[in-house]
Structures are given as C-alpha cells and as structure tokens.
Amino acid sequence: MRKKLYQIIEPANDNELSKIYDFFMMTVIVISIMPLAFKETNIIFDIIEYITVSIFIIDYFLRLITADLKLNKSVLSFFIYPITPLAIIDLLSILPSLTILNSSFKLLKLFRLLRALKVLRTFKFLRYSKSFEIIVSVFKKQKRVLSAVATMAIAYVLVSALVIYNVEPESFGSFFDAIYWATVSLTTVGYGDIYPVTTIGRIVTMISSVFGIAIIALPSGVITAGYLSEVNKENETEEKGSI
C-alpha cells in the first residue's frame, strides 16, 4: 500500500496516476496563492485556504510515511525527511494557515503576521518540475566550478567593499554599507541609494563593475552549457526508449 502511494505522489513519467496527482497538486498550488494578490479577504478566500492547506497537510504526511522509500535509510528516513529542503518548504507554507483550521492554535497566531510565507507554496512547483531535476543534476556535476565562482564572487565583494570604504569613507557610514554597494555593483543592479562621489571612488566603481560583469557571466555560461548537455542526454534516452 505504501509503495503504491509512493509511486503516485512522486513524479514519474510512466505512471498515469502520478501524472494526474502532479497536475492536481500544481492546480491546488496556483489556487492557494491567488488570494495573496488581494489585500482584502472574504469567505471565498477563507474556503480556498481551508481546502488547499488541508490538501497540503495530507500531501505532507503521505510523503512523511513513505520517506523510507524515497531516502532508502530505513527508520532513519522518517527523521531525516522533515529537514530536507522541500519538506521544510512544505512545512513553512502550511504553518501560517493552521490558525484557520483550528482556533486552538493560539501560539501559532504569530504566523498570521507572516502571510508572505505562503508565497513559499510557489516553490512546491519544484517538486513536479522536470527542469528543476535537470538543474539540480547540473549543479551536482558542476559543483567544483560553481564553488570556485562563488568563492571568487565573495572575494570580489569583500575586496571591493574594503577598497571603497577606505577610499571614500564619507559616503559609506559602515562597512556593511560598503558590502551592500559591492553586492549591488556585482549584480549590476545599481539602485543608486549609495554611491561614491569622488573621482577616485568613481574609478574604483568603474573597475569593480567591469570585473563584476565577468564574474556574473561565468556561472551563467556553466549552468547553460550543463543544462543543454543534460537536456540532450534526456532526449537521447527517450529516443532509445521509443525504439
């Protein structure tokens, strides 16, 4: 029985019931976040919240009771599963709504103030996305390269912040402001709320911006190349399977 449940709730290309379940859950996720687009609430939104969060709770417990089949760590799986990334997202998207289901959750009324946590429900789409599985595979295979780029980016931010903080201390009230400026420069966002006003400061900004563009381009190229490679492998596998 548990094995059949697991085969349904986990995405699978060759299981029609699993495909139906995935489509159903994605529909529920979309419906559940619709009320967040409105400031006012009403009885319809309350009913939507009641029904959708009940479905999410059932889904969470179904995944919990089949955790050993997914993680293959026997009894230990039931303790490990709740701290896996997707399980945490599931739990955080449910908790703010528990006061609607039962008014006895007095301690959890705090979560009414954290309405934005419900936006995490959009991340539940990741569970049903084939593209997400491919991206995860790319990150695993390219983790050494991406780790090196991440280290380079952190070093860039710290060095740029140190330089600009010492070159133009009057424009940056704290080192954190300098780090914020360096991060914004790295991502080429350029909010303009903190910026250097001296000639030396502007020269440093131009140099750091040029290097920032180069650093940002590196992981984009790695991920794109890896993604295309994985997609090609998937297509080749499907073609072989259809022959």
Q: Give the DSSP H or E segment for 188.
A: none
Q: What is the CATH number of the domain that holds 233?
A: 1.10.287.70
Burial class (CB in 10 A: 0-12, 13-18, 19+), 90: buried
- 122 and 11 share one domain: yes
Q: What pLDDT score was predicted for residue 107?
A: 47
DSSP state of 93: H
Q: How many domains does the chain fold into? A: 2
One-letter amino acid identity for 91? Answer: L
User: Sorting pLDDT into bands at 50, 70 and 90, what band is 118?
Assistant: low
In a domain, 207, yes or no: yes
Determine the 3-state secondary structure of 66 from DSSP: coil
Domain range spanning residue 164? 139-242
**Domain membership flag for residue 63:** yes
**Digit-coded pLDDT (tens) for 224-236:** 888 888 778 777 7
Question: Is 117 part of any domain?
Answer: yes
Do 96 and 174 have their domain in common? Answer: no
32 against 110, higher pLDDT: 32
Residue 116 and residue 144 in one domain? no
Say if residue 17's pLDDT is above 70.
Answer: yes
| Alpha carbon distance 146, 156 (integer Å) | 15
Share of the chain above pLDDT 90, in %: 7
Q: Provide the mean pLDDT of the chain.
A: 80
Spatial contact of 2 and 66, defined as CB atoms under 8 Å apart: yes
Give the Cβ contact number of residue 238 at 10 Å: 10
Burial string for 47-68 (b: 16+ CB within 10 Å, else e) reads: ebbeebbeebbebbeebeebbb
Q: Are residues 203 and 160 in the same domain?
A: yes
pLDDT over threshold 60, residue 41: yes
